[in-house]
Amino acid sequence: MTAPPVATYWCESLLVDGVVTAGVRLSIGADGRISSRVDDLPAEPGDIRLGTVLPGLANAHSHAFHRALRGRTHDQGGDFWRWRESMYAVALALTPERYLQLARAVFAEMLVSGYTAVGEFHYLHHQADGTPYPQAHAMELALATAAREVGIRLVLLDTSYLAGGLETPLRPEQQGFSDGSAAGWLERWARLRETLAADAAGRPNEPALVTLGAALHSVRAVPRDAMRQILAGLPAEVPLHIHLSEQPQENSDCLAVHGVTPTALLDGLGALTPRLSVVHATHLSDDDLRMLGRTGVSVVMCPSTEADLGDGIGRARELAAAGSPIALGSDQNAVIDPFLEMRGLEMGERLAAGSRGRFTPAALLRAAGADGYAALGLGPARLATGDPADLVEVDAHSIRTLGARPGQLVLAATAADVRRVIVAGRLVADSGRLVGTPAAASAPAGSPAALLRDALDTLDARPSAEAPSPA
């Protein structure tokens, strides 16, 4: 006998893969997945009525703590390497308690902006001098707690970070990122997996929002032999991410040390498989591009960050044509708006190519949604039966969206047009406010801004107006 749904949502219109379907009823099971979908039906009493609905949107690459730098580095000039010094100052100021507050606020901003899932590329593992916190996995558990309290899906991409650069030791400010060796990282990762599983087992009546993935920071920060050991030691089903060729210097350093590009180095290790996602991939050779496409590696682009840091414009259209799915992330969180990331992907292509329509609106939505979910190991996300019940309602009649054709809504809307957000079948945000979660109860009127204000106030060491020059 089929269990009755825990909720039913009726969507006036549902936009998936460029197709607009009217009158869609979604029934949600106790597992937070869609138990049935029926199209072209009128609403019934008891349905929760929604307007224009999109599938859940995935932020496939985030560093939550970078949010503390928003609006604080734009007068410094320079490039990524100079900005990085300010980033280190924030990292050194964080403790598990402070990170819980900050991550809760950042995840809340993501949620009310339309993100239903986030991949947190996390390397703040230990105290500033590299010694473990008294509580095992304190920083990782802070992120998990923040996600659960807000109601967003979290894929914790626990990151190996072992070196300061190719054949370069860690800098003093990087000591807290490292587990000392590949074996040390693998051991901690396995213990963390057991801890998170036990924590989930102790919450049988809550949706399973937190899962564990893995990441190699970059070929700069993980030596080749360490990467080989980690690749051999990770379970095959675990999603794996890595920063790749964000900066030309990474390419030139890798060529000088190994005689190959970062992409070719990964290929030689057997790392280029569909379970891998490479982040940025801004500066690729033609051979690099072909290797990534041939092996079905996902590419996570972060247009707002790549523009903010002056990284450059990646070859997104060519990568997609070669066979690499494109996903999107907010990276440093100078901008948290999935619609602006979608628009940034297409506008970067237009600027580079001198032509419009490089990605269709449907392809942009797939990059922000289904392909992001796939890159995070979350499976299909097209609001079909069995998919996660993650939905985003968008105001199709705002000053920004009025007059837009439904299929082109993603090129007109912004985060300000997000109305209700549903994760695992539960309403967790409504018109910019958190609802129905512990974070909503702790913030005045469910305001993410109140959470952020408190989090920034607790940081004793704030980013200075003048970042030091790179060492």
Provide the annotated active-site residues. Answer: 280, 331
- How far is C-alpha 127 from the chain's CA centre? 24
Tokens of 386: 């069995």
Angle, alpha carbons 129-134-137 (nearest 5°): 90
Element containing residue 429 per DSSP (H, E): strand 426-430
Tokens of 41: 């039906």
Tokens of 261: 């590009």
Alpha-carbon distance 442 to 148, whole Å? 13
Alpha-carbon distance 313 to 352, whole Å? 7
Alpha-carbon distance 245 to 253, whole Å? 11
* Dihedral (CA of 394, 19, 321, 241) sign: positive
b/e per residue 127-148 (b: at least 16 CB within 10 A)? bbebeebeeebbbbbbbbbbbb
Alpha-carbon distance 407 to 159, whole Å? 37
Residues 6 or more apart whose Cβ sits within 8 Å of residue 185? 160, 162, 179, 230
**DSSP assignment letter at 413:** -
CA neighbor of 298 nearest in space, from 280, 286, 284, 283: 280
Three-class SS of residue 15? strand
Residue corresponding to tokens 């942009």: 364
In single-letter form, the type of residue at position 137 comes to H
Length of the chain: 471
Alpha-carbon distance 463 to 87, whole Å? 8
Long-range contacts of residues 285-290, Cβ cutoff 8 Å, at least 24 apart:
285/261, 287/261, 287/263, 288/245, 288/261, 288/262, 288/263, 288/264, 289/315, 289/318, 289/319, 289/322, 290/322
